[in-house]
Amino acid sequence: MTLNATLAKRYEGRLFVDDGRLHMIVEVDVDNSTAYVSSNDGSGPQVNPWPVTEVGNRLSSENGLLLDGLARADESERLTEKEEGWFFTSREGLQGPFKNHTQAGKALKDYILTTQGTTSARH
């Protein structure tokens, strides 16, 4: 499977069920064709690497649910540039500043995962 950045972005935030548990794609590493997938086996949330081809197979059999804010069209609407730098909006107000749009977007994604009780093993 050829993976490009656009397809990787579409994978992030997608949900699928495997072995009776809900899984969420947290991040996709295009260079290594690896998806980092969060799930909870009863002992707490964990993030594990999966081959992108396997994740693609799982997603093709699911209904395409998205988790709050990840890979959604309105995610970019939550990013704002001000004189001091880049910010994202949350229920608590503006968060930031960040050096650039990319860093603010990553911070927004991390914020969403943290507030939902999931942390990435890559950070």
Kindly state whether residue 123 falls inside one of the protein's structural domains. no
Strand partners, 88: 79, 95
Mean pLDDT, rounded, of the chain? 79
CA quadruple 104, 121, 56, 39: dihedral positive or negative? negative
How many domains does one find in the chain? 2
Kindly state whether residue 85 falls inside one of the protein's structural domains. yes
Kindly state whether residue 40 falls inside one of the protein's structural domains. yes
User: What pLDDT is stored for residue 82 in this prediction?
Assistant: 95
Q: Is the same domain home to 51 and 12?
A: yes
- Apex CA 8: angle with CA 7 and CA 14, to 5°? 100
Q: Is the same domain home to 77 and 108?
A: yes
Q: Is the same domain home to 43 and 88?
A: no
Domain ranges, residue 110: 73-115
Q: Is the same domain home to 54 and 91?
A: no
86-112: pLDDT as tens digits: 998 887 889 999 999 989 988 888 887
26-75: pLDDT as tens digits: 999 988 999 999 988 888 889 999 999 899 888 877 655 555 545 554 56
